[in-house]
Structure 1
Amino acid sequence: MKVRLLEGEMQLLKTLEKLGGEAYDKRLTSEIGWPPDKVTTMALNMSERGIVNVSSEEEVWIWLTDEGLRYARIGLPERRILEQAVVKGEVEVSKLEGVEDWEKPIGLAWLRRKGWGVIRGGRIKVVGEFPKGADEKLIELIASKGKVRLTELPDELRKAVKTLKSRRLVEAGKVTRRLISLTELGWGVLRGEVEVLEEVSRLTRDLIVSGR
């Protein structure tokens, strides 16, 4: 059996061999030093000739918005309000410190919603316990990593994504990644079991028709 390789394809095959026979496109890009588009295009062309397999999967990534990054540094408004109320026993809304006027309604609403306190007569009184919530844990995690895959999050944190999106503290986006793996033909090329015709810079119509 014979196979004709285009310029650079043998390098891609050898890199896959070094990586155990399969690798994601991002890893190949890093190993070879090519632009991502070049790796993807070459792999898809090789898959049409049965030299490699290419399977695609979509990943959802989560990252913090500018406001989310701010809260990662200084804390959610309800947490900052809570901390002042805990220290003083209770605190007047008008005397809250370190909380912007536009944040106060948001922080007070979430304080009540989380069962951390009650507001009567313009004063905040704390009640119950105040454990760190999944929303706060998720903000900390994303801040430490820059962005995270949705599938890597435990159920508790995954549920918090919807909450933080509604507060416009995180955004989500889909990224396609491709797993490229050697076929039997590809392994045969590397083992010398398949005759390799000289590498060419591109396949011409004549080469395709003639099969040379």
Structure 2
Amino acid sequence: MGPNCLHLCVDMQRMFLEETDWHTPWMARVLPRVERLVAAHPERTILTRFIPAQHPGEGRGTWAGYYRRWASMTRDQLPPGLVDLAPGLARLTPPAEILDKTVYSPWLGTDLDARLQARGVDTLVMTGGETEVCVLASVLGAVDLGYRVFVVTDALCSSCDEAHDALLTMYHRRYGQQVHPVTTEEVLLAWT
């Protein structure tokens, strides 16, 4: 991991950290590791934020039903500031950058790929939540675009242990040429 590497930290936001309908119980447990990784290279970090619809029922196709189901998580009903990053990460911006997205994938409807290409990035370190939702969309999009991906297994979180474990198994067994499971300590030692 060298100068062409960037840390993509996925959706470590207050609305998942705090007691909401989308609370991710063990986000608090992995947050210190994520903070260490961001602090090590904040100028080489992009933190995504999932921005929910403004109103219940808003969105294209199935997203409209999704936001009717999760009306409590629309911006009309969320308390102010819950879409913000976890406080320890917010303090690292800038130099860390923020990328807002309205779907699971950070590659759709954003300039993420162009930003990375302009910086000569070819390798991504991935952390965040949830393992089987937004992190999965981030990883698969990166693979499709040809990025080398390091998934930091002890800096991921989910609200479903079984799905988290299944994804880690999949990364080990199915994507060996493109996705490399690593630990926080391995990244900190290898990223020069």
TM superposition score normalised by structure 2: 0.26
Q: Which structure carries more relative contact order (alpha carbon 8 Å, separation 6+)? A: 1
Structure showing the higher helix proportion among its residues: 1
Structure showing the higher strand proportion among its residues: 1
Structure having the higher Rg: 1
TM superposition score normalised by structure 1: 0.24
